[in-house]
Amino acid sequence: MAAKDILVVGELNVDLIMSGMPSVPEIGKEILAHDMTLTLGSSSAIMASNIAALGAGTSFCGKLGSDYFGDYILGELQGRGVDTTRITRSPNHKTGATVVMNYDQDRANVTFCGAMEALGLEDIPWDNLHEFRHLHLSNFFIQKKLRNDIVELFKKAKSCGVTTSLDLQWDPAGTWEFDHQACLPYVDIFLPNEAELLALTGSHNAEEALRQIMPHANTIALKLGEKGSIGIRGDQRTEMPAFKIAQFVDAIGAGDSFNAGFIHHCLKGATLADCLKHGNLAGALNTTAAGGTGAFADRATLEERMQAILKNGSK
């Protein structure tokens, strides 16, 4: 694929993952974790790292602090083949960090946003955006400076001739202030999961939520976890079952890996069904190692492991 397939715009943080706890922590008490991992975090960075591993020419636009965690993130992204020349360092902000308390297929997170809140519309390389084929943005709600300009961001990106995608992620404030009617017409691929879509629309089930969103969206790729995914594009609707996984480790970043697999195949001109299949495949692969990028780190065996999951089949 081209050297500049995709520009990922979004947040950057490290993940400190605690696993094997007997219960949820309580105020005034201490519990022990059986394992701990420091790794590249943030939905945007996980997506960028993993789509680069799949073979897409990937660049990142974001902000870091001038600290050790910032150095670590730059090194991790560069080591995974992501172009970091559009990442800026702030002397006035610390790099973001998330403490992840991992419980089987669920987790509790505590995030310090830091420099990610300072990323603004002016930081996007508009003069060179036409050099890319696609722009992806993740984790809209925690990027305070970008939030008010979200419609302008996607409208301007479309005027530069690039295709676009958006994964809102969860709203920590619980207000879900996102004008989907104004924004989604400029988003080529909308990538929510089921819980996010229900919260955004105030709906009781996925079908009701989809009916609200569909009139304003171009392509919807709805992530359903163990139930697979649903793709809707105009009058076309495709449902794709999830893959069976023999050795589950954790689900951190599985949705971001789905985004990577889906968009990677969209850039190849694949059908909606094929994009969903490879989104599910990348999400399934993600769960076989700790953290969001561990399963994609060894590129030499990546294709072999994906073929093994394909051979194992769908649920």
In order along the chain (315 residues), what is the average pLDDT of each group of 10 residues?
88 93 92 92 96 97 97 97 97 95 81 95 96 97 94 98 97 96 98 97 96 97 96 97 90 94 98 98 94 89 92 81
Amino acid code (one letter) for 256? D
pLDDT at 2: 67
Contact 231, 277 (CB under 8 A): no
DSSP label of 202: T
Instruction: State the pTM of this model.
Output: 0.93
Provide the token pair at 13. 């943080």
Backbone angles phi, psi at 207, to 5 degrees: -65, -40
- Domain locations along the chain: 6-312
pLDDT at 172: 93
The class that CATH gives domain 6-312 is alpha beta
Beta strands in the chain (DSSP E): 6-9, 13-19, 35-41, 58-65, 83-90, 96-103, 106-112, 134-138, 163-167, 189-190, 219-223, 229-233, 236-240
